[in-house]
Structure 1
Amino acid sequence: VEHSVEALDARRPISRPIPHVAILRDELTQLFSDDYEEEEEEMEARGEHTLSETFVCLENTFGHDCSLTCEDCQNGGTCNAEGTGCECPAGWSGLLCNQTCPPGTFGKNCSQLCLCQNGGSCEPITGTCRCPPGVAGIHCEDGCPKGFFGKQCRKKCNCANRGHCHRIYGACLCDPGLYGRYCHLACPKWAFGPGCSEECLCVQPNTQHCDKRDGSCHCKPGYRGVRCETECEPGRYGEDCRKKCSCSPDARCDHITGRCWKECPQGYHGENCDQECPAGRFGANCLLLCSCGGAPCNAVSGQCVCAPGWTGHDCAQGCAAGRWGPGCANVCECSSSTGSCDAVTGQCACDAGYTGSRCQEPCPDGFYGIECQHACNCQNGARCDHITGQCHCHPGWTGPHCAHVCPQGRFGEGCSQACSCSNNATCDHITGRCLCAAGWMGPTCQQGCQPQRYGVGCLQPCSCQNGGLCNATDGSCACGLGWTGKSCELGCEEGMYGEGCRQRCDCVGNVSCDRITGHCLCPPGKTGPRCDSECPVNRYGPDCALTCICASSTQCSARNGRCHCHRGSMGPSCREDIMTVKK
């Protein structure tokens, strides 16, 4: 059994023997022809020795260096009965079943030929045809040949790269790897398939390019796998990991260049292993790249040393709410609703309306909002909400900025109360106290002014005389009949009567009338509505209101009631006999 080789197991080198035997064959090839003229016994034996070595793998291993086992079979591959290789399922091929069937083949061992027509591609496992757009049928036979369209398939497609077109309309239907109106554009990098609609799944840093037709990955030297996700196995390097390293057992082989190098302790590199790993690298000989998104990592273990505000194995996660600092190790001490702070500095992110190192203080008067940076715009002594900036008006004020008094009939906090004032009284917009109109008084202005009082609050004394009525609003006098003047201090002029002395007496002979009723005041001896009649018999005086006292059949003067005695009579009433008196 030959020398041992190194293999990688979880990034740590171990040593195991190659399970094989070497069969050596020694052959001598004669260098001279049989007609050599010298004597046979004198002939010098001259020839060329060839030493060949043949590997025979043991212990169910296989491969060119016996480094593979059945555990290396991929994609459902199983070990064959002899344990000398992988039995691949349908659609897969290669030593480890890690390659899809070549185009045009399918099935187990990729031994069957596809029957697809008109540009159809074959599914590598079952052989099912995948027809291009505009083509149908089990074998894509229902459609025009590539490059033609129309009812009889006689019209030529105007598509680049001999592309298919719609069998009826002639629109270009691009093959995998092409796109554009005329299928004249190749897929951009990392896109593939019909119309370049699929994204390559290759590990891009390890991949040269992605096949624009089927998306298969073409790895950079030193990498392998369906997605180029794996470095070459130990002892192999280069393109497709085909080259074999030639390093001594105590040295390692670079998986890309094949360069041999001595392994330094973790975290160091250099010829004498005395140089610490540069930023971004770690491990033995500093060959491994940190996966920390730009953050440094521990030179020995590769553990990321996250910058303040970041955490996670690759420092790709921001701090959770409520934590901050390097590795998010610190807890925020904030009184905000979320308790969160700046993930880098720990500065509290205060809710709107709060300030202070821990967000424990409301905004100072006159300011509100995030970081208390907005100035309030409230009037008439209104208070501003420190969170929203909404003005909280004092009683009696309203509006967004508390600039308006309550509307008529409302008062108090938020103008929410209704005034209870009557008779056109106004209501104090703050207290609701009734401000009575002139002529009214009382808590709700339902009482009229007391007699001889008028004005606002009924505080002014009236000046009306002679029974004149005082207007409670303005104090003006409404004079009774027969009186006039501002204060009803003047009786009606002669010949006038009634309200405001505006009516003229209707009496005969300039006779005056009653200034109140207009009734004619007849002089003695006159009577009648207009004083145009003489007194009737036995009546006398003003308006004939008096009765004569004269003896019967004796008349009296209609003016003064004096009796006119008959002859032989005498006395005030003509009741005395003259003869009797003389006796």
Structure 2
Amino acid sequence: MRVGSLGTSFGKSEVFCQHSIHISLINGRPSADDLSPELLEFTSARYIRLRFQRIRTLNADLMMFAHKDPREIDPIVTRRYYYSVKDISVGGMCICYGHARACPLDPVTNKSRCECEHNTCGDSCDQCCPGFHQKPWRAGTFLTKTECEACNCHGKAEECYYDENVARRNLSLNIHGKYIGGGVCINCTRNTAGINCETCIDGFFRPKGISPNYPRPCQPCHCDPVGSLNEVCVKDEKRAQRGLAPGSCHCKPGFRGVSCDRCARGYTGYPDCKPCNCSGAGSTNEDPCFGSCNCKVRCLF
């Protein structure tokens, strides 16, 4: 707590008896009715020190002790100078940044601890609780709660963090179904992945019509190791490609099917799937792998 000079209101030499002096650090200051971070910082204190800098009795204000040798001062006079304070009361509140209504004393630590609200955590409610980082933490005020908002992880993660870049690019889906905020889910479960645990890890896919909120949305891919380029299939409808539905594998040349476990037209002999004798493009054969090749007009053997 930073306190400037008291001023001249109580600067007279008369003795005060049965009087009270009240000092407020907030009244009359800008944002007193709706505390700003600057005013909160200005009025924050862990220790308070009272300094009695001048004597105000028996015309002591006329004696400039700083300019005299203390040995020249009559001790009979100085012994009569004193301060008498009957009671000191310091009123204030715990630093909970507007996110608590009470801060009872913790009997274990012997320190006051805020009873945090608005999904905030910490001794002073100075951070968002795990799983509530869709928006950055902000101090509350008398007029605005500024609650910490839960991340939308579709029930597949308990923790997340705020990413300013994700928020700027509108990549994070909030719990209200809008791309507002920057929450990024951590340690997605049930074989899920993504900013909101909305997609699947490699080797798994979410079938058409299955919501990310489904308890087990991701199913394993079944890609044939011979005919597939890899074990990764189309993960969901958002990533579906032309002619490939969720769960479809990416086939090597000469292979086809959802799992790439069959020969494509013009190829024969699974699992080798070698080209047929007849060209599928140049012949009229229903099956270019059987019978004599019947060429199309203007096509040569």
TM (normalized to structure 2)?
0.31
TM (normalized to structure 1)?
0.19
Q: Which has the higher contact order (CA 8 A, sep 6+)?
A: 2
Q: Which has the higher strand share?
A: 1
- Whichever of the two has the greater Rg, that structure is 1
